[in-house]
Amino acid sequence: MAERTLTCRDCGNSFVFTEGEQEFFTMKGFSEPSRCPDCRAAHKRQRQGRDNREMSSPPRDRGTQESRGDRQLYEVECSECGTLTQVPFKPRGHSPVYCRTCFNNRR
Ligand SMILES: [Zn+2]
Ligand SMILES: [Zn+2]
């Protein structure tokens, strides 16, 4: 692809349709621009709010709110009373883990 010079249908000025822009337009499935960048910007401003999706940035990642914080809980048996309890760390076999009740009782 090479740069092309197009003529604006609004103001009649010629403008350059760069390789990069051509690629972008092709990628998006847009037809080639019929207005110079100035007129495009002006046109866009006029209809702002209704349809300004053309040049907007990609949508933000969703799903970041699904996990509240990144603390993972591990279910373990309390070494004292055998109740299932959850701890925010990966329990190691040799160290005792206590449920909240037993943990408080031990202090
Ligand atoms: Zn123009
Ligand atoms: Zn316990």
- 59 in a domain, yes or no? no
What pTM, to 2 d.p., does this model score? Answer: 0.40
Q: How far is the CA of 22 from the centre of ligand 1 (A)?
A: 18
- 62 in a domain, yes or no? no
- 64 in a domain, yes or no? no
What total number of domains does the chain contain?
Answer: 2
- 61 in a domain, yes or no? no
In this prediction, residue 34 carries a pLDDT of 93
Q: How far is the CA of 3 from the centre of ligand 1 (A)?
A: 18
Q: How far is the CA of 24 from the centre of ligand 1 (A)?
A: 20
pLDDT, greater one: 55 or 74: 74
- 53 in a domain, yes or no? no
> Measured between alpha carbons, how far is 35 from 66 in angstroms, rounded to an integer?
44
Residue 60 corresponds to which tokens in the numbers above? Answer: 């933000």
What range does the domain containing 33 cover? 4-46
Those residues with Cβ within 8 angstroms of residue 62's Cβ, 6 or more apart along the chain or in another chain: none
**3-state helix/strand/coil string of 1-63:** CCCEEEECCCCCCEEEECHHHHHHHHHHCCCCCCCCHHHHHHHHHHCCCCCCCCCCCCCCCCC
Query: Residue 8 pLDDT more than 90?
Result: yes
Q: How far is the CA of 26 from the centre of ligand 2 (A)?
A: 65
- 67 in a domain, yes or no? no
- 92 in a domain, yes or no? yes
- 95 in a domain, yes or no? yes
In this prediction, residue 65 carries a pLDDT of 47
